[in-house]
Structure 1
Amino acid sequence: MKTDDLINMLASGPDVSAPAMPVQRFVLLVSFGFLASIGMMLTFLGMRPNLNELIMMPAFWIKIAFVVCLAAVGWVASARLSTPGTRITMLPLLIALPVLLIWIVGAISLMHAAPGERAQLFWGQTWRYCPFLIALLSMPLFVAVLKIMRNLAPVRLRLAGATAGFAAGAAATMVYSLHCPEIAAPFVGFWYLVGIMIPTVIGVLIGPRVLRW
C-alpha cells in the first residue's frame, strides 16, 4: 500500500477500511506457511507414535484448546494491527484469558499431585528444546504473516511485528502438538508460552524494518 493511498483513505473518513489483500493471495500465503511448518515437523520430528492414545486423554484436548485460542487471538490481533485506526483495547485481555485459564488448570494439577511428581509435571522430558522447536516451526508461518501485513497498512510497526510473531508461534505450536509427548498443563502453560514468545520478541525487533511501507 502506497502513502498516497493511505492519505486518501484517511481523508475519506473513519468508516473507510484499508484495501484488503486479495483472498486468493491470503489463502496461498497462509496455506504455504502451514504446509511448510507441517512438512518440517514430519521430516525432522515425526508424528507422535502414541498419538491415538494421547487423544483419548482430556489433558491433550486442554492443550489443544489452549494453543488454538492463542492462535486465533494472534491472527485477530495481526489483522487489526494491519488496519490504521482499529481499536485493540480488548486484545491484551483476550490473550491473557487462555493463559490465565491454563495456569489455573496447571496450579490445580500441581496441588493434587504427589510432591515427588510436581517437578515432572512442570519440567517434563523436553523442556530443554521444546521452545526452540516451536520457534523453528513458526518461521514459515512468520514469513507468511509478515508478507500479508506488508500488503496492508500497519502503523505501529513494533507491535504489529510482535503480533505477527505471536500468531505464527501459536499456530506453529498447534503443529508441534502433534509431535510433543507433553500434555501436563504446568508444562504447556509455561514452556509452550516460552516457545511462542521467541518469534514474538523477534517480531518486535524486526517489525520496524520489515513492515515499513
Structure 2
Amino acid sequence: MRTDDLVGLLSTGITPLRRGTAARRFGISLPIATLGATALMAMVFGVRPDLAAVAKTPIFWEKLAFPLCLAIGALIATVRLARPGAKVGAGWPFMTTPVLVVWIAAVVTVVTAAPEDRLPALLGHSWRSCPFNILLLAVPGFIAVFWAVKGLAPTSPRLAGAACGLLASSIATVAYCFHCPEMSPAFWSVWYVAGMLLPAAFGAVLGPKLLRW
C-alpha cells in the first residue's frame, strides 16, 4: 500500500472541527460548572450567614482568589490540552503560583501562632468533610467539562482528564468559599488542595476512557 493510500484510508470519515467549536463548547460547560456548583452549595450546605460582614475583610478575598487563580490556570491547561499535540504551557504558572503562595502563608500562620493554636489553624472545624464537599460540588462541572473536551481532539487523554478534573474542582471550590467558615491559610493549604486534587485524580484515571476519539 502506498503512503498516499494509507493516509487516505486513515482520514476516511474524519470531519474537521468548525472554527470556534472550542469556544462554543467551553461557553456551555463553564456556566454549567459554575451554576451547578453554586446551586448545590446553596441547597446542600447553605451560604454562610455572616457572608455580608466577612466579605468586607481582605482575608475572604484572599481565600476566594486562591481557587479562582487555579481555575484560570486549569482553564488555560484544559483548552490547550484539548488540541492535538498541545502542552499545558502558560497554565502552569497560574496553577503553581497560588499553591506556593498559600503554602508560604500557611507556614507563616503555623509558625507565628501560639503552640496550642497551631493544630486548630491546620484542622479548623471541617477538615473531615471539606475535601468531600468540594468533590460533590465538582460533579456538575466534571461532567460538563469532560463533555466539552470530548468533542475536541485531545491526544494526551490522561493529562487532559486531570486538567478537566482540576478545572471542575477549582470552580467548585470558589463556590464552596461562600459556605466554608474556615479563614486560615493553613487550612486551605491542605484541605482545599486535597479537595481540588480528588477530581483531578479521578479525571486522570477516567481520561483515557472518556476522552478517546
Inter-CA distance 30–6: structure 2 relative to 1 (3 Å threshold): farther
Task: State the match for 2:118 in structure 1.
Answer: 118
Per the TM alignment, residue 8 of structure 1 is displaced from its structure 2 partner at its CA by 8.7
Provide the TM-score with structure 2 as the length reference.
Answer: 0.88
Provide Cα deviations, 1:118-152, integer angstroms capped at 9, x if missing partner.
11110000000000000110010011110110111
Which runs of no fewer than 5 residues in structure 1 stay unpaired? 10-16
Inter-CA distance 118–5: structure 2 relative to 1 (3 Å threshold): farther
Question: How far apart in 2 are the matches of 1:58 and 1:157?
Answer: 39
Question: How far apart in 1 are the matches of 2:38 and 2:50?
Answer: 18
Aligned-pair identity in percent equals 36
Provide Cα deviations, 1:140-184, integer angstroms capped at 9, x if missing partner.
001111011011110100000000001100010000000000110
Task: State the match for 1:177 in structure 2.
Answer: 177
Question: How far apart in 2 are the matches of 1:7 and 1:157?
Answer: 19
Question: How far apart in 2 are the matches of 1:121 and 1:105?
Answer: 12
Which runs of no fewer than 5 residues in structure 2 stay unpaired? 1-9
Inter-CA distance 123–24: structure 2 relative to 1 (3 Å threshold): same
RMSD over equivalenced CA pairs, Å: 2.2
Equivalent positions of 1:1-213 (< 5 A) are 4=11, 19-21=19-21, 23-213=23-213
Inter-CA distance 174–6: structure 2 relative to 1 (3 Å threshold): farther
Provide Cα deviations, 1:37-88, integer angstroms capped at 9, x if missing partner.
2111111111000112221222211111111100110111100000113243
Provide the TM-score with structure 1 as the length reference.
Answer: 0.88
Inter-CA distance 22–112: structure 2 relative to 1 (3 Å threshold): closer
